[in-house]
Amino acid sequence: MTGKSDKTMISQYTTLTGVEEDQRLDVQNSVLGHFDRDVYDKVFKKKNCPAILDVGCGTGNMMQKMLEGIASYKLIGVDKVERQIHIAEKTHTSGRFLILDVEKEDFASLIRPVMEEESIGGFDVINCSMVVLHMQNPVGALSRLRTLLAPNGTLVVRDIDDGLQYAWPDPERRFEKLFKMLEKDVRTGDRHCGRKIYSYLTNAGFQNIQLNKIGLASTSLKNKMLLFDMAIPTFLHYYEQRHLDAPDNIQWKEDFEWFRDNIVAMKDSFGKEDFVFSAGFMNYTAE
């Protein structure tokens, strides 16, 4: 672990961005390929050359992975963080990427001219993967997105609910402590967002809301260390960073030192045959 500060990391605790987060999301997306790929395949294949809006697209890697095997599509990716859009533009040639905040009132009026340029009347698929948890007003943003859907278009929301997260056996209660630490950390968003999404979608006026998938356990992965890599080491980096940025904060110092001193034991747990780790992913679709 290094103490190097990534200046692109947002300090106001709404979401984390930076090289480490990009890497964590790439691992997460390779894990989630096992979780809800069939849902994405189904919505992409409903129409030839679907028009897709990827909200909170980050580096664009999540959507590119999901689109593998889809012959033609029109893709617009939006993210409120400039750095993410610059990486997406450099990395992916098939798509248009824009710096836009879906929580801003004028979001729809800013994206409509781009839709016109691309001859998109409405989106066949709107994707929100791990974004709603970071929103201040999810119903407002989702209502705005509903107006951009094509007739028969589908919104896909993938998110997290740590109420479904557990690790067992956990005799020293290390994972229990870690989950409590993460829950208190507002930088990681609303960790109980998943259970609220049905209500958000209903209140935003969506119909035909389906909860397609819920929870992903290490027991269904060939390589369960992927869940460790996704869930643990990057967070140690964040706790170190937070401590180095405010060395006088005793709680943050204690959190970091506890994490540093226990990470190896947590990794060892993942190596044990009878150990199970369950992550609280959820996947919804709505029209």
Ligand X SMILES: C[S@@+](CC[C@H](N)C(=O)[O-])C[C@H]1O[C@@H](n2cnc3c(N)ncnc32)[C@H](O)[C@@H]1O
Token digits for 163?
């109420």
In the complex with ligand X, which residue's Cβ is closer, 78 or 209? 78
Q: Which residue is nearest to ligand X (CB)?
A: 56
Token digits for 274?
């009878």
Determine if 134 is a binding residue for ligand X (CB under 6 A): yes
In the complex, the smallest distance separating the C-beta of residue 195 from ligand X, rounded to whole angstroms, is 18
Q: Which of 18, 50, 58, 140 binds ligand X (CB under 6 A)?
A: 58
* Segment interacting with ligand X (CB under 6 A) among 97-105, 112-120, 234-242, 254-262: 97-105
Determine if 79 is a binding residue for ligand X (CB under 6 A): yes
Determine if 129 is a binding residue for ligand X (CB under 6 A): yes
The rounded distance, in Å, linking the Cα atoms of 4 and 99 is 26
Question: What letters, b where the CB count within 10 A reaches 16 and e where it falls short, cover 85-115?
Answer: bebbbeebeebebeebebbeeebbeebeeeb
CB-CB neighbours of 76 under 10 Å: 23
Token digits for 170?
């956990």
Q: Which of 43, 51, 52, 56 binds ligand X (CB under 6 A)?
A: 56
Q: Are 253 and 121 in contact (CB under 8 A)?
A: no
Determine if 103 is a binding residue for ligand X (CB under 6 A): yes
In the complex with ligand X, which residue's Cβ is closer, 107 or 175? 107
The rounded distance, in Å, linking the Cα atoms of 258 and 127 is 37
Determine if 39 is a binding residue for ligand X (CB under 6 A): no
Q: Which residues bind ligand X (CB under 6 A)?
A: 15, 17, 25, 29, 56-58, 62, 78-81, 84, 101-103, 129-131, 134-135
